[in-house]
Amino acid sequence: MDKNQLIEILNKIGVLLEIKGENPFKSKAYYNAARTLENLDEDIESLIREDRLKDLKGIGDALNKKIIEYYTTGRIEYYESLKAELPESLLEIMNVPGIGPKKIGVLYRQLGIKNIGELEYACIENRLIELPGFGEKTQKKFLDGIMQYKKYQGKYLYSEAYGQAEEILSYLKSCKDIINIEVAGSLRRKREIIRDVDILVSSSKPQEVMDIFLNGPYVRETIAAGETKSSIYTRYGIQVDLRVIGPEEYPYALQYFTGSKEHNVAMRHRSKEMGLKMNEYGLFRGEENIQVKDEVELYKMLGLDFIPPELREDMGEIEAAANHSLPYLISDKDIKGIFHVHTIYSDGKATIEEIAYKAKELGYEYIGITDHSQSAFYAGGLKEEDLLRQWDEIDHLNEMIGGVKILKGIESDILIDGSLDYPEELLKRFDFIIGSVHSNFGLSEYNMTERIVKALQNPYLTILGHPTGRLLLSREGYKLDIKRVIDEAARNNKIIEINANPYRLDMDWRMLKIAKEKGVRFAIGPDAHNIEGLKDVKYGVGIARKGWLEPQDVINCMDMEDIIKLF
């Protein structure tokens, strides 16, 4: 059975119920059940077979029956009947900022609007303003929201949002009325996809700060302007929210605005059980605000170890913090060397020499050069004679440049039959080999999995490169039984790449913890095609942190001697 599809259906039922105007707690129950399944470590099918589904928090009789129904028939009759009542296309309207389920319900019932296109047309035709609860401004807000959605789908890469945040932060820092300033929200949690930038400021003169923010050179349009919260669209299109609070409220607000929403809900639930109340202004026992000086103390007051922002996704971190079993997360300074760099030999822009000097400047002990292999003709893949030439150059540079060791690697295509791209005599001469899929993306899940499994059984493969092949916001990964790939990597003692290129961030952080528990180790690779690209390693470290990884899980943290031994 397809667990992801089941989760999607449960979420869709939740939204449809909201649009219908049902008891909001009923829809919440569906969202909760979907989340529970999403964070499930165990195999859902065995839970069903052993009739243990009901033991899960948030799944009672009704949802248990519906999940079993999906397991046995592949569909849920309740969902089908909801879809017969309300068109599924209503769900896409939820993506437009500023429009929620209640308004969607009214639009459908009163005007028969079923999708974004019809809504846009109705706005242009001025048909919304007569509806109860609607007006001129609502209609304009919807139209703006639709434009925004159509242009950007409201989603940005972490690296893009990070760049915007940097620009605004450096502009605001000149303001003398600001005491503390920090990026919060999903950006602080280092999510791979960002919907908006949240900035938190403490100041005793909030209005001054707001004025400066709203008049910055980056502002294209103001969405909201209040006393403690304002929102804008930047010229680049991304939404930025600024919250200003008093200095004594800073730790509570920072925790609150960092999220995630789900983490905060769980935190407030915990505080409530302890007889406390939590919000962005404090932690209260009755009327008394319990004073803390930073987030560390705030978590401590709730009986928890400090939870790093990257882990705040309500995926077991609160339980781990309560029983002192949080991981000691990897950080940038643990990285001693990097793998996966392209040069002018294939499709890179920099010479090996330039890369080596840059790596040395960045403080790395070693750098793995991995150009494309011969089948990657579109990327100038290396023929045997090119390899020999490259190896000579590397030998020469290793003698010339001290302090950084250049490793002879290759990013070998994993061919359609699962084999690597050179004969054995050549394969055995590399220091290490990254194997990646670059062709025949359309294979069935079974065939693609077999292809990669075969590569993982190849004694010459060291690292499995960008395991799903996804390109964030533009291309889905190929169909793959990722659990099987993880098992096979563990069995053959193969390393899985965390591709740090901001367009990839592959393997996904949600799978890292699972793979780690199976004993898999990881290599962070910038997949750099120029000098600047070497700095992308930081994005990979962020993803490793989100995946609960510690220095011993990541081979980039080994020193050069140990790396040579490992390879």
Q: Which residues bind DNA (CB under 7 A)?
A: 23, 25-26, 28-30, 32-33, 56-64, 78, 94, 96-104, 129, 132-139, 141, 185, 195-196, 198, 224-230, 239, 241, 257, 259, 261, 264-265, 268-269, 272, 277-281
Closer residue to DNA (CB): 60 or 363: 60
Nearest to 484 by CA among 454, 522, 523: 454
Query: Shortest Cβ distance from residue 544 to DNA (Å)?
Result: 25
Closer residue to DNA (CB): 164 or 239: 239
Nearest to 87 by CA among 51, 55, 112, 62: 112
Closer residue to DNA (CB): 32 or 468: 32
Strand-pairing partners, residue 194, are 156
- The DSSP element (H or E) to which 540 belongs, if any, is helix 537-546
Query: Shortest Cβ distance from residue 99 to DNA (Å)?
Result: 5
Nearest to 527 by CA among 447, 483, 470, 445: 470
Amino acid letter for position 126: N
Closer residue to DNA (CB): 183 or 452: 183
Query: Shortest Cβ distance from residue 86 to DNA (Å)?
Result: 15
Query: Shortest Cβ distance from residue 227 to DNA (Å)?
Result: 4
Query: Shortest Cβ distance from residue 40 to DNA (Å)?
Result: 14
Query: Shortest Cβ distance from residue 26 to DNA (Å)?
Result: 4
The pair of three-digit structure tokens given for residue 558, joined into one six-digit string: 């080994």
Query: Shortest Cβ distance from residue 480 to DNA (Å)?
Result: 31
Closer residue to DNA (CB): 139 or 373: 139
Strand-pairing partners, residue 407, are 368
Give the whole-angstrom CA distance, residue 562 versus residue 448. Answer: 33
Give the whole-angstrom CA distance, residue 494 versus residue 547. Answer: 18
Query: Shortest Cβ distance from residue 275 to DNA (Å)?
Result: 8
Closer residue to DNA (CB): 149 or 345: 149
Closer residue to DNA (CB): 78 or 391: 78
Cβ neighbours of residue 92 under 8 Å, at least 6 residues apart? 115, 116
Query: Shortest Cβ distance from residue 512 to DNA (Å)?
Result: 25
Give the whole-angstrom CA distance, residue 122 versus residue 107. Answer: 10
Phi/psi for 354 (5° steps) reads -60, -40
Closer residue to DNA (CB): 175 or 214: 214
Give the whole-angstrom CA distance, residue 403 versus residue 397. Answer: 11
Alpha helices per DSSP H over 406-554: 424-427, 445-456, 482-491, 509-517, 537-546
- Eight-state DSSP code of residue 554: B
CB 157 within 8 A of CB 473: yes
The pair of three-digit structure tokens given for residue 8, joined into one six-digit string: 């999607």
Alpha helices per DSSP H over 337-460: 352-361, 384-400, 424-427, 445-456
Please report how many Cα atoms fall inside a 13 Å half-sphere around the Cα of residue 123, on the Cβ side. 20
Closer residue to DNA (CB): 243 or 438: 243
Query: Shortest Cβ distance from residue 96 to DNA (Å)?
Result: 7
Closer residue to DNA (CB): 192 or 196: 196
Give the whole-angstrom CA distance, residue 496 versus residue 514. Answer: 12
